[in-house]
C-alpha cells in the first residue's frame, strides 16, 4: 500500500472532523503519528465484520460502502459525508471498497478515543487531551499509544526456548531426535512434555519412557505449540504484588480458554486441537503486556477498574502487536486482536478466532460472576460460521459440559 506525502495532504486533512476543532498543538501531535495511504479501485479499506484498530477518513476519491440495508452508498472526498470517519462501529457494519483511486487518513482508534467520543449521529464531542492529563488512564493511554505509533512499545522478548523450538520444527530436515535435543535444554519443560504425552489426552497403549518418545507421540507441531505454551508462562511476571496477582489471573483465565478451545476443536471437524489450545493461551496476551506496563503508574495499581478500562481499550491491538513482533502467524495475531468482539463476522471461511471466541464466551458464561449482558453461544456469528447452527439449542454447551474432566486435566497440565 503506497504512502502519500502527509505534508502535502495536511491542509485538507486538518479540516476533517474532529480534527478541525483541535488546538494547533493537538493537530501537530496527530500529524506526527497519522498515516496517509492510497488504494486502487476495487481494493477494500476495511471489511464488514472486521474489528481493526483504526479509524479511516476519506481524503479524496470515491468509496462505496457495502452492507447497508438500503444498498451500496458512495462517499466522495471533500463532501460532507467524508468529514467524519467512514465507520466508528466495531465490528464494522459495512465493507468500504475503493470505487476510484483514493487517498485516506488512518489514525489509531485509541487516539480518537482520547480526543473524542463517537456520537450516534456520526458527529464528535471533542475533549482536549494532553500528556500531563491528571487522569491516570488517559496518561497511560497517551503513553502506550505514542509508543505504539513510534514502534517503541516495550514488548517482552519471546522466550529463547520458544524461538529455538519454532525454528527447529520449521526445518524440514529435523525429526523427533533433533527436536528432543532442543527441548532438553529446559528440563522442566521436557518433564512437562512427557507428562502431557502420558496424559489421557494423548496416552497410547504403553507409557512413553523418554522425551524422544514423547515428541513422537505428540508430533512435531503439537510439541512446538506445547513448548511455546509452557514457556509463555514466564512472561506473566511482575515485581509488584497486586499486578503479579492480576497477571496470574490472566494466565489462569487463558489456560481455561485454551483447555476449552482444545476440547471444542476435538469435537468439531477440521480443527487442530493443539493449535486451538495455543490460540486460547495467546488470546489475552495484550492484557499481560499492559499490566506489566502499568507498573509505571501507581494510580492504576491502586484502582483496578481504571486498569481494566485500559485493557479493554488497548488490549487487543497491543496483543496483536506483540504476536506480530514475535513472528507468530496471522491467524494467531487475529485471535489476539479480535477474540473479544462477540459479533465479529469477517465473512469468508471460518477461522481459528471463531473457535477461540466461542470457547472464551463459554468460559465467561459458565464462570462465577458472569456479566449479565453476555450473548448466548448460539447468537454469535462464530457459532454459525463453525457450522454449528444446525445443532439443537444447547448441544455445544452440553458437549463441553461432558468434557469438563478433559478440560480440567489439560488445564492442570498447562498451569503446573
Query: Along the 416 residues of the chain, how does pLDDT read in single tens digits?
Result: 454 555 545 656 666 655 666 666 667 767 777 788 899 999 999 988 887 767 888 988 999 999 888 888 899 887 767 777 888 777 888 999 999 999 998 887 656 545 443 323 333 333 333 445 555 555 666 666 666 656 666 677 778 898 899 899 988 889 999 999 999 999 999 999 999 899 888 877 788 889 999 999 999 988 998 898 888 777 766 667 888 888 888 988 999 999 999 999 999 988 999 899 999 999 999 898 888 877 777 777 888 888 888 888 778 878 887 888 787 888 998 999 899 889 888 888 999 999 999 999 999 988 766 777 889 999 999 999 999 999 888 899 999 999 999 999 888 888 77
Task: Decide if 166 is inside a domain.
Answer: no
- In angstroms, the CA 199 to CA 90 distance is 41
Domain CATH for 62: 2.60.120.10
Residue 311 lies in a domain: yes
- Give, to the nearest 10 degrees, the angle between helix 24-33 and helix 136-149: 40
Residues 276 and 390 in one domain: yes
**Domain-located, residue 100:** yes
* Residue 139 neighbours by CB under 8 Å, 6+ apart: 131, 132, 133, 297
Give me the pLDDT at residue 124, please.
33
Residue 144 counted as domain residue: no
Tell which of 129, 161, 185 closes a domain: 129
Half-sphere exposure of 178 (CA within 13 A, CB side): 13
pLDDT for res 126 = 33
Predicted local distance difference test score (pLDDT) of residue 229: 81
Specify if 314 maps to a domain: yes
Q: Rounded to 5 degrees, what angle do the CA atoms 105, 106, 107 make?
A: 120
257 and 393 in a single domain? The answer is: yes
Give the domain-ending residue among 85, 104, 129.
129
CATH code of the domain in which 389 resides? 1.10.3210.10
> What's the rounded Cα separation, in Å, for the pair 365 and 368?
8
Dmax (CA) of the chain: 73
Give the per-residue pLDDT at 139. 61
Last residue of a domain, one of 101, 129, 157: 129
pLDDT computed for residue 354 by the predictor: 96
Tell me if 190 is assigned to some domain: no
Residues 271 and 390 placed together within one structural domain of the fold: yes
CA dihedral 46, 48, 52, 57 (to 10 degrees): 40
Which residue range(s) make up the domain with 11? Answer: 6-129
Beta-bridge partner residues of 56: 106
Please state the domain count of the chain.
2
- Decide if 277 is inside a domain: yes
Structural domain includes residue 215: no
Amino acid at each position: 500500500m503506497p504512502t502519500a506525502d502527509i505534508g502535502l495532504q495536511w491542509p485538507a486533512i486538518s479540516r476533517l472532523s474532529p480534527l478541525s476543532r483541535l488546538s494547533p498543538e493537538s493537530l501537530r501531535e496527530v500529524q506526527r503519528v497519522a498515516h496517509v495511504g492510497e488504494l486502487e479501485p476495487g481494493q477494500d479499506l476495511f471489511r464488514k465484520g472486521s474489528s481493526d484498530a483504526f479509524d479511516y477518513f476519506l481524503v479524496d476519491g470515491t468509496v462505496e460502502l457495502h452492507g447497508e440495508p438500503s444498498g451500496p452508498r458512495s462517499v466522495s472526498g471533500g463532501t460532507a459525508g467524508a468529514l467524519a470517519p467512514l465507520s466508528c462501529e466495531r465490528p464494522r457494519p459495512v465493507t468500504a471498497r475503493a470505487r476510484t483511486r483514493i487517498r485516506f487518513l488512518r489514525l489509531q482508534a485509541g487516539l480518537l478515543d482520547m480526543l473524542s467520543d463517537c456520537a450516534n449521529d456520526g458527529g464528535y464531542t471533542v475533549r482536549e487531551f494532553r500528556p500531563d492529563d491528571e487522569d491516570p488512564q488517559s496518561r497511560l493511554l497517551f503513553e502506550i499509544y505514542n509508543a505504539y505509533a513510534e514502534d517503541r512499545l516495550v514488548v517482552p522478548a519471546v522466550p529463547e526456548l520458544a524461538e529455538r523450538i519454532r525454528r527447529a520444527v520449521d526445518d524440514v530436515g529435523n525429526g523427533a531426535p533433533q527436536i528432543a535435543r532442543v527441548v532438553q535444554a529446559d528440563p522442566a519443560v521436557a518433564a512437562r512434555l512427557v507428562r502431557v504425552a502420558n496424559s489421557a489426552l494423548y496416552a497410547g497403549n504403553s507409557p512413553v519412557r523418554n522425551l524422544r518418545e514423547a515428541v513422537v507421540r505428540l508430533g512435531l507441531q503439537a510439541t512446538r505449540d506445547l513448548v511455546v505454551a509452557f514457556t509463555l508462562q514466564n512472561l506473566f511476571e511482575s515485581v509488584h504484588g497486586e499486578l503479579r496477582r492480576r497477571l496470574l489471573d490472566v494466565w489462569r483465565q487463558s489456560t481455561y480458554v485454551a483447555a476449552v478451545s482444545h476440547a471444542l476443536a476435538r469435537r468439531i471437524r477440521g480443527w487442530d486441537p493443539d493449535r486451538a489450545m495455543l490460540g486460547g493461551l495467546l488470546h489475552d496476551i495484550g492484557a499481560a503486556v499492559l499490566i506489566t506496563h502499568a507498573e509505571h503508574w501507581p494510580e492504576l495499581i491502586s484502582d483496578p477498574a481504571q486498569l481494566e478500562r485500559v485493557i479493554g481499550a488497548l488490549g487487543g491491538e497491543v496483543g496483536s502487536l506483540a504476536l506480530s513482533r514475535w513472528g507468530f502467524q496471522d491467524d494467531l495475531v487475529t485471535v489476539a486482536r479480535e477474540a473479544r468482539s462477540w459479533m465479529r463476522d469477517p465473512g469468508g471461511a471460518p477461522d481459528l478466532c471463531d473457535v477461540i471466541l466461542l470457547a472464551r464466551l463459554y468460559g465467561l458464561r459458565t464462570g462465577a460472576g458472569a456479566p449479565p449482558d453476555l450473548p448466548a453461544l448460539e447468537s454469535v456469528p462464530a457459532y454459525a460460521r463453525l457450522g454449528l447452527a444446525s445443532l439443537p439449542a444447547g448441544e455445544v454447551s452440553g458437549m463441553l459440559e461432558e468434557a469438563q474432566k478433559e478440560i480440567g486435566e489439560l488445564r492442570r497440565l498447562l498451569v503446573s
